[in-house]
Structure 1
Amino acid sequence: MISTLRYGVRFVVAAAIAMTCLTSCIDEDLSECGENYTIDYTVRHVYQQTDVPTILERELTTDAERQLAAQLLTPLNRVFATTVKELDLSFFGTPVGNLIRHEQHEINAAYAQYTVYLKKLDYRNLALANAIAEPLVNIKGAEELNSLTLSQTVADTIVSHTEGLFTSRLNMAVKDKSQSYHADLYMQNCASCIVLDPGDNKVMGVSGYVDDTATDFAVSDSTYHFARHTVVRSSLVSGGGLYGLYAATMPSADTPTTYNTRNSTTETAAWRIGVVVRMADSYTKTTLYVPQPLKAGELRIIKCKINSRGEVVPNLQSVGASVELDWKPGGDHNIDI
């Protein structure tokens, strides 16, 4: 049965009772019987961090910046969409953590409700949204509670995510009666954008990437893992004479790391951004060191200027920078120009 609601689409899915369960109920062995349990799933955003039009309007205020914002709006709105395309639902028996039930549903909405038939056990329900729609993320370890992971494609360099990833965790202490539950789906990836102002300098091209973000997210204990190293290539837009390099990624670590730069200095950062600027006869690579962590569900915008040598100079004093003049294409992370 499908009926329209004011804020989403209501989906009620009733599972058939297995014949073995019916037999045991008739024999009065009630341990094998079950009940219908209703679960609501709602997509939740942290509004101040993810309302793309508001953030762009607040951060990009000049005429030139507003022209660039118009080019950023569509791709960033897709990442921070208020609806999700599909839900992947897993019900694990506790405390053992074995998979009891698994369902996948297309919803294209911000809200869904399901009725599932479950035996009278205690469960932990893990829900994933857009994990199938996002091509750069795979579901791993789906048969066990503690191994279910959203895992980024294994590669040295990948392109930007294009979908927001959402998860929820719900403990269900099942009783001898029908019950209702609610689960909130929160965003697990994020995005950053570097706004580059070349001024009067003649720039032939720019490219970039984001480094030091997580590659795996363990869903049940809600933790990010950094065991693998993958950089995410930024996507380029332009408008108003400015360049915008944006990338949707998993978050950075919360604790900054100290780096030895190629300029024989040290910088402390939670994550880094690489930017390559092509001038008329040279390439210049700048590495930006951002000390403030990049959080799940966040859209971070950092403004910079490009000087006459192709160096990227951040407007924020807290963001460090190291520069490689006469950088050779085909070097770090195979950044394409």
Structure 2
Amino acid sequence: MVKSSIFRLRTVLMLLSLLSLATSCIDEDLSKCGSDYKIVYRMNLRTNMNVEIAQTLTTPEELAYADVLRQHLSGVFSDYAYDNDLSFYAGPELFHNEKNKMGASTASYTIYLQRQDYRHLALANTGDETQVSVSSKEHVQTLALEQLAADTIDSHHFGIFSARRDIKAADFGSDIDVNLYMQNCAAAVVIDRRGHSLDDVFGYVEDMSTGFAVSDSLYTTSRHTVVRARRVSGASRSAAQRFEGLAAVCFPSTADTWRYTVVVRRGKTYTKNVLKVSSPLKAGQLRILKFYLKEDGSLTSVDHTVGVSVELNWKPAGEHNVEI
């Protein structure tokens, strides 16, 4: 009888101990009760770049310049990811975050997680991007990509990708796939000099989004920001020498109409051309605007749907809101 009582007491104590351990897993540190799960990340580049170049630049000389422009944008319109930033949300709160060097278009990671429901938000190519930062990742609805808080910024250097994936507890029974898509875009100006000379050309785009709410896939505008374009010269190739160009990489347009300002310098004379584009620029897209240069530095649009407003003898010091 005594031995039986002792045995029952030990059994009860052991059950209480197991119950205490299980309770600690539920109520305290969830990570102690997790497992390793395989998650596969794939970069999906959905872009019109090659189609836009092929349809817009068609003459032999333009085709030579097309190679120059394509090479200039090759690091942006690419499915190669240098790095990633992975956030897992249990409810609205951040449960787990990690950053990895990816170095590929597809990569798989073994991630230690509690088996439960998550809202998973993934980013790629944000680690070395100096013009865009990741903000407010502590809550699922506030995680965002934000451009520098300045009146004028440089073009983005990389194609920035993101993904949203609701992962259910039952999904952890097999490998989990996450597909990332490009969230910025590019606008290029191609100028056929037609025998006219210029000493410099520079410009910027405006009326674009300044941020991106990742969970809602929503572009936002918190300020008026202009994005400097980079010069893309065809002078290094003989067949493309008659062309000058600009390319700006940015977030998509905030409305159906946006502007691209191009300034042509000839000696000490500046001509300001404000281009009004009446069709939206969307994520993953390249838009090429083609123009002819006139002797006074003004531009004539090849596309009649693009308006041009010209200011001759423009003075750079008068453009107070833009630091060129």
Fold in common (TM above 0.5) = yes
Name the counterpart of 1:137. Answer: 132
TM-score of the aligned structures, taking structure 2 as reference length: 0.85
Where 2:224 maps in the other structure, the secondary structure is: coil
Select which of 79, 83, 97 maps to 2:80.
83
Amino acid at match of 1:65: E
| 1:153 pairs with 2:148 | yes
The 8 Å contact of residues 43 and 180 in structure 2, kept in 1 or not, is answered as yes
Q: Structure 1 or 2: larger helix share?
A: 2
Q: RMSD of the TM alignment (CA)?
A: 2.1
Q: Name which one, 1 or 2, has greater alpha-carbon Rg.
A: 2
After superposition, what is the alpha-carbon deviation per residue over 1:181-220, rounded to whole angstroms, capped at 9, x for unaligned?
2111000001111001121323222111111111111111
Amino acid at match of 1:310: G
Where 2:316 maps in the other structure, the secondary structure is: coil
Select which of 37, 59, 67 maps to 2:64.
67
In structure 2, the CA distance between the partners of 1:24 and 1:128, relative to structure 1 (3 Å rule), is farther
Amino acid at match of 1:220: S
Identity of aligned residues (%): 40
CA distance in 1, matches of 2:229, 2:171: 53
Name the counterpart of 1:241. Answer: 242
**Aligned positions of 1:31-180 closer than 5 A:** 31=26, 32=30, 33-47=33-47, 49-51=48-50, 55-94=52-91, 97-175=92-170, 178-180=173-175
Name the counterpart of 1:226. Answer: 221
Select which of 268, 290, 294 maps to 1:303.
290
CA distance in 2, matches of 1:60, 1:150: 33
CA distance in 2, matches of 1:108, 1:160: 22
Shift of 1:335: 5.5
CA distance in 2, matches of 1:126, 1:109: 19
Shift of 1:36: 3.3
| 1:27 pairs with 2:21 | yes
CA distance in 2, matches of 1:86, 1:25: 42
Where 1:66 maps in the other structure, the secondary structure is: helix
Name the counterpart of 2:253. Answer: 252
Select which of 265, 269, 291 maps to 1:282.
269
Where 2:195 maps in the other structure, the secondary structure is: coil
The 8 Å contact of residues 68 and 244 in structure 1, kept in 2 or not, is answered as no
Structure 2 spans left out of the alignment, 5+ residues:
1-16, 235-240
Shifted more, 286-295 versus 23-32: the winner is 23-32
The 8 Å contact of residues 201 and 264 in structure 2, kept in 1 or not, is answered as yes
Shift of 1:175: 3.5
The 8 Å contact of residues 75 and 162 in structure 1, kept in 2 or not, is answered as no
Where 2:67 maps in the other structure, the secondary structure is: helix
CA distance in 1, matches of 2:84, 2:72: 22
In structure 2, the CA distance between the partners of 1:287 and 1:117, relative to structure 1 (3 Å rule), is same
Where 1:27 maps in the other structure, the secondary structure is: helix
Select which of 294, 313, 322 maps to 1:326.
313
Shift of 1:112: 1.3
After superposition, what is the alpha-carbon deviation per residue over 1:120-145, rounded to whole angstroms, capped at 9, x for unaligned?
33210100000112111111101111
CA distance in 2, matches of 1:191, 1:154: 20
Shifted more, 182-191 versus 323-332: the winner is 323-332
Corresponding residue pairs, total: 295
CA distance in 1, matches of 2:251, 2:180: 16
CA distance in 1, matches of 2:249, 2:277: 16
CA distance in 2, matches of 1:176, 1:272: 46
Shift of 1:100: 0.5
CA distance in 1, matches of 2:233, 2:198: 12
Structure 1 spans left out of the alignment, 5+ residues:
1-22, 257-269
After superposition, what is the alpha-carbon deviation per residue over 1:16-67, rounded to whole angstroms, capped at 9, x for unaligned?
xxxxxxx9788344645334332211100114x144xx64344322232233
TM-score of the aligned structures, taking structure 1 as reference length: 0.82
Shift of 1:79: 0.6
| 1:182 pairs with 2:183 | no
